[in-house]
Structure 1
């Protein structure tokens, strides 16, 4: 197998990884629906959804490890004799087995989408309990829309967010693509990324600080559906 074929396979794996991420978002949405239902079957279903999400997190981690190992091994091969290609498969298998054996439950629980899942379910349960206890009526639509326009706007793009993420340090929200782009730009300039929200004192926004906010994403999607029906 040529190195170009190996790199093509890695690209396919990365595409699969994106699909896994989308699947994890769908699982979270289903679990949130169950949490809002507030029944015994819902609680059982949430546990099943969490187990499914952890399996996806493991697969995502394994793909990361595999891609990383193959890239390292092939980089070494290109500087050696062509005969070294024959030992490529064995070397990758050995290192991959070693690294995946060290994946712990803590590693999976710390996966960004698993952390977002738990945060989303907690918020959904709290919201459902609050609505049940207070027997709240629906808010006035004009007020709800006004609040949504403020809360759903990315401070970077100044347009409605598509994939909102929350900064766990300062609790501000941004669109995922916009903030990751800013972080990358600042790092290329050897600078720290300051939170773009006016008046925020957080002067070092890191990718590891960002957590997908599935609750907010659902609210944005809900508003879009309401706008379409209107």
Structure 2
């Protein structure tokens, strides 16, 4: 098979790997969401809590390995697309992957934001109402309020004007919307439904298949709501 034929296979493989990446992120979110039930049932069982942490670390490592693999594939694809020679893509990919893995100075998996978020969640469940030893100073509280104000716009749906509940991202332009709101928009406008963000250069008609759930933004929204509830209780 020519390099051109192989490239078609590579393109399909990349699409499959991106789907795997989405599954990994869903797994991370599910692991975090299950912490409530898991820790309540396993309170006092350090072994089971450690197993939950281990699952998250497995996802972190899979995400890292997949990222490196995709990076290697993209580089090999670029090289192959610039020549008409018959290349041994498998050998090129193997060498490129070894080069990338060897040159990367990856931080410990325990420093990954998703793992740290899980640790924080477990601590909060095991210590209800407790204040962490590193209590925020007044300056930190002001900074946090400022950050909340700055992020308010990004958590508002550009179509409904309300805070998003389940944020989804447009595959074509990257803009985010509330799932229920944008689905109603698509259903109403049908083939005339375009990205509602002003000045967006994406002219593709919107369909449900273009939307993917943004788990990272959803976590930010949940944390924002949690902080707002804490402030409300403190005022009471």
Question: How many residues in Structure 1 have an aligned counterpart in Structure 2?
Answer: 159
Distance 2:126 2:9 in 1: 48
Which runs of structure 1 show a deviation greater than 4 angstroms over 4 or more consecutive aligned residues? 101-105, 175-178, 213-219
Shift of the 51–155 alpha-carbon distance from structure 1 to 2, 3 Å rule, reads: closer
- Normalising by structure 1, we get a TM-score of 0.55
Residue in structure 2 matched with residue 28 of structure 1 by the alignment: 32
Shift of the 12–176 alpha-carbon distance from structure 1 to 2, 3 Å rule, reads: same
Query: Which among 3, 9, 13 is matched to residue 13 of structure 2?
Result: 9
Distance 1:33 1:159 in 2: 27
Residue in structure 2 matched with residue 123 of structure 1 by the alignment: 124
Residue in structure 2 matched with residue 112 of structure 1 by the alignment: 113
1:54 aligns with 2:57: yes
Query: Is residue 35–residue 46 contact of structure 1 (8 Å, CA) maintained in 2?
Result: yes
- Normalising by structure 2, we get a TM-score of 0.54
Distance 1:210 1:104 in 2: 28
- Identify unmatched segments of 5+ residues in structure 2: 132-152, 177-196, 202-215, 227-236
Distance 1:218 1:37 in 2: 25
**How far apart are 1:36 and its partner, in Å?**
3.3
- Identify unmatched segments of 5+ residues in structure 1: 131-152, 163-174, 190-208, 220-230
Shift of the 122–5 alpha-carbon distance from structure 1 to 2, 3 Å rule, reads: same
Shift of the 113–218 alpha-carbon distance from structure 1 to 2, 3 Å rule, reads: farther
Match of 1:82, SS?
coil
Show the 5 A alignment for 1:207-218. Answer: 212-213=219-220, 216=223
Shift of the 102–27 alpha-carbon distance from structure 1 to 2, 3 Å rule, reads: farther
**How far apart are 1:63 and its partner, in Å?**
0.9
Distance 2:8 2:97 in 1: 21
Distance 1:7 1:56 in 2: 24
